[in-house]
Structure 1
């Protein structure tokens, strides 16, 4: 599948910024199941300072906000070819050892509700793949997808207790539960194309578990499926905070507002385009 993406992130500041830096994880890499054919990032109100691969092997751009500016606009355009690997990403690579994906983080630390969830799963824990599919179903049943009920600081325990959340929360609960059973888990941020939509509210988030004999396997808890050719992986981390598309500081900015525009479409060579797209929450919160 050939997917095209246009993603615009627009920050507006109430006051003039006298110093600001932003870290951008917005460029996908060619990896298992996807090939990045082209990708361009345009900046307004900011300039590039450096680019590097972070500890999770995410491509990262560091940009500075122009002094005296009151807005920053980051626009990404790209085309990615994808295939369906049934969610299997394969063997582990990158700078982080697998044991790092077992440690709890502030967003994924398990409390009583997560422990109760794990105890309630009626599946053979020795069969890791079956257990994870059962866990996916259980989270979907217990946590309703309701946009606007959580934010980027909501923990897995809080979302599970409330019984509401978005894809970021579903992924964090899944990660928290899996780590209790010593399964390496990580968060994935990216894009999802869904039939019938081109324009989206924001990017999407899901999780990957390291399964014996398969390596990393993706689980989209919000949609109860393993990622297929409709998905583009952009960044991974131990939780959302390490895979967030944009993070940074802006000194003197005052109140900040954020506006995101995102389209994901299928490009059919030699035929008429079909409408498609997907959704989730982003920046202040993922999917």
Structure 2
């Protein structure tokens, strides 16, 4: 029997600046798309200290909003709320969509460039398994064991190779290491940002995992941080070659003073 779950999300991102800012631009990938296994029932993004300028669909088919900081803003608050119905399909999404060709997802990025640790893992996995799907499941298990979840051990600029070599990281690092290894095997793979229903409602951050292209199945999700394929507890927000192309919020600003960031996420089953 197919399992379907309705999830509610409340996601608040707050930027606080030591001094008023003269200019700033934010890129928001905070609106999920409906697809065969994910139906967006309601969703809203509201801003304080900034205003939406325009929305567009990028080359990965992510829904993107551009927002500018209000002149003199010292605090920016981004609130997302909505409900999404998700169907469990064992991580299988199916055929390629969007404008990007599959060969694009074999491209290395600075965050997903393999080094000695990734190369050694790839050699072990490929020697042990002959089929692509089995190799990717084995890779997922190896990364779950090889990178201990350790908040603060890495940052947004860290690479998958660094996390695997040091054996510490967060879900972003698990995803980057998976991408580095999968692409080294010749398998197209992409980064996914989104939300995960956990055993608690309040969370410190959104979630990240990976998807790989398997002939005959299409895109299939793998979450090395939890050693499973995404199911009806996962909401997909955006995809890209790495975190930089799928991050929920990115941007630049012009002004003096330091910036502090706080994130509050709530995911609950309805």
TM-score (norm. length: structure 1): 0.91
Distance, in Å, in 2 between the alignment partners of 1:222 and 1:32 is 25
CA contact (8 A) 1:236 1:242 kept: yes
Q: State the match for 1:231 in structure 2.
A: 234
Quote the offset at 1:113 in angstroms: 1.4
Q: Deviations over 1:96-138 (max 9, x none)?
A: 100000010010011111111111225323x110010011111
Q: Distance in 2 between matches of 1:174 and 1:69?
A: 39
Is 1:252 aligned to residue 250 of structure 2? Answer: no
Determine the structure 1 residue equivalent to 2:265.
262
Q: 1:189 aligns with which of 188, 193, 201?
A: 193
From 7, 23, 27, the equivalent of 1:23 is: 27
**Higher helix proportion, which one?**
2
Structure 2 residue aligned with 1:282: none
Say which SS state the counterpart of residue 175 (structure 2) adopts. helix
Q: Which moved more, 1:114-123 or 1:255-264?
A: 114-123
| Runs of 4 or more above 3 Å deviation | none
Matched ranges for 1:162-201 at <5 A: 162-195=166-199, 197-201=200-204
Cα offset for 1:253?
4.2
**In 2, are the aligned partners of 1:5 and 1:262 still within 8 Å (CA)?**
yes
**In the aligned structure 1, how far is the partner of 2:59 from the partner of 2:256?**
30
Specify which of 37, 45, 48 is matched with residue 52 of structure 2.
48
RMSD value, Cα: 0.8
CA distance, structure 1, for counterparts of residue 148 and residue 129 of structure 2: 25
Aligned equivalent of 2:212, options 209, 218, 224 = 209
CA distance in structure 2 between the aligned counterparts of 1:40 and 1:179, rounded to whole angstroms: 35
For 1:49 and 1:194, locate their aligned partners in 2 and report how far apart those are by CA, in whole Å: 34
Question: TM (normalized to structure 2)?
Answer: 0.97
Q: How does 1:1-287 map to 2 (within 5 A)?
A: 1-121=5-125, 122-125=127-130, 127-195=131-199, 197-267=200-270
Greater mean deviation of Cα atoms: 183-192 or 156-165: 156-165
- Give the paired residue count: 265
Aligned partners of 1:2 and 1:266 also within 8 Å: yes
Give the secondary structure class of the aligned counterpart of 1:70.
strand
Gaps of 5+ in 1: 268-287
Structure-1 separation of matches of 2:18 and 2:74: 7
Classify the secondary structure of the residue corresponding to 1:15.
strand
- 1:123 and 1:92 map into 2 onto residues whose CA distance is 28
Q: Distance in 1 between matches of 2:250 and 2:145?
A: 32
Higher strand share: 2
Q: Is the 8 A contact 1:108 1:239 kept in 2?
A: yes
Query: Could you tell me how far 1:143 is from its partner in structure 2?
Result: 1.3
